[in-house]
Structures are given as C-alpha cells and as structure tokens.
C-alpha cells in the first residue's frame, strides 16, 4: 500500500496515509514505536474501502530501531 497506493487485501485504491507523530483528532493518540528514551514515528496506511491498515517506520529510524530492539527478548 505504501508504494502502490493499492490495498493488498481488497484491491481498493482509496488509501490514506496517517503520518506518525501527528496527534489524531479522532482519539487523541500518537503513532510511535518506543526505543529507549526516544521514539520513532510510525506512518499508518489505511484502506478506506475495507479498513485494512499497514504501519511503516521511516527509513531514517530503521537502524536505530534495530540497534535498540535486536537485544530484546523475542
């Protein structure tokens, strides 16, 4: 969905992006993954036809998340 703009579940093209780190007006929550005392924004892609969603960390935060979570218990 992130790259194609098409839902992999229903094939719908009515996809919206909710940027991570932005406060939602719907429920007053934020989209973050915690890594130690810092957090990384998580962008959410939602299919408005079926409700399927995907979450993606931004490229610049991948290595930081890997370093922090690599030692965490599985």
- C-alpha to C-alpha distance for 52 and 31, rounded to whole angstroms: 16
pLDDT of residue 16: 96
The domain tally of the chain equals 1
Residue 5 lies in a domain: no
Residue 72 lies in a domain: no
Domain that holds residue 45: 15-67
pLDDT of residue 21: 75
Residue 73 lies in a domain: no
Q: In 1-74, which ranges are E strands?
A: 15-18, 32-35, 38-47, 53-57
Per-residue pLDDT tens digits of the chain, which is 74 residues long: 999 999 999 999 999 998 887 655 555 556 766 656 567 788 999 999 999 999 998 898 888 888 877 766 55
């Amino acid at each position: 969905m992130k790259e194609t703009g098409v839902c992999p579940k229903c094939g719908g093209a009515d996809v919206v992006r909710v940027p991570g780190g932005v406060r939602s007006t719907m429920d007053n929550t934020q989209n973050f993954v915690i890594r130690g005392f810092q957090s990384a924004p998580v962008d959410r892609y939602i299919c408005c036809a079926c409700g399927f969603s995907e979450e993606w960390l931004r490229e610049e935060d991948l290595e930081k998340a890997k370093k922090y979570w690599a030692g965490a218990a599985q």
